[in-house]
Every structure is written in C-alpha cells, then in structure tokens.
Amino acid sequence: MEFPYLYDENQNFAKNLKAACTPDFYLFSNEGDGDFLLYYHGQLDDSRPGNNIPLSGKDLRSAVKDLNQDNSYPSNQMPSLGCNIKWTPGKEPSWFK
C-alpha cells in the first residue's frame, strides 16, 4: 500500500501543529477545494513497548475507514505516547523552552 507522507525537514509543520511527541498521527481530509481539515490526531493503537499488546493500528485504521465512508469520527481520540520531538537547537518552539 502506498500513501503520501510529509518529511518536515525544517520542523515548521510540527510547530504549526504544536506536535509534542513521536510517533504522533495526523489524518487530514481533503475538502475538494484544496483545503485540508484535521480529521484525526492521536495514537496508532493501544500497543506500547512492554505492554504485550500486539501492534494493530486499530485507532488510525478506524479513522481512515470512517473518513473514507464520509462518517464523522465519533470515537475518543487517544493522544499518542512516545519520545519528545528533538527540536533543532535554536529553533525550539516557544512552548518548549
């Protein structure tokens, strides 16, 4: 399966999203007029290192399925847990300092 992804070399996109950790998943809907709206922001699934829950991607997969079916995303969007973003020295966002 192929899908587009963003490599945020200068970290401006992460700053605009106020991203805090990795991995952190953002799913956008294309409204057809060139505008993208944030549809899902959260975890991939309930798996974590050491919790013995297998990797499934159920949360993100569910969001993609709902988006493809033009449903609103009713589920509670659980925040991601992970390592903090390693900001480029001297370019840290104001909330990070």
The whole-angstrom separation of Cα 13 and Cα 16 is 5
Q: Give the pLDDT band of residue 75 (cuts 50, 70, 90).
A: low
Q: Under the phi-then-psi rule, with left for phi > 0, alpha for psi from -120 to 50, and beta for the rest, what region is 79? A: beta
pLDDT at 46: 93
**Average pLDDT over every residue of 24-32:** 84
Tell me the three state secondary structure of residue 42: strand
CA distances from 65 to 8, 58, 77, 78 (A): 26, 10, 15, 17
Kindly report the average pLDDT of the chain as a whole number.
86
Q: Give the pLDDT band of residue 53 (cuts 50, 70, 90).
A: very high
pLDDT at 74: 63
Query: Is the pLDDT score of 4 beyond 80?
Result: no
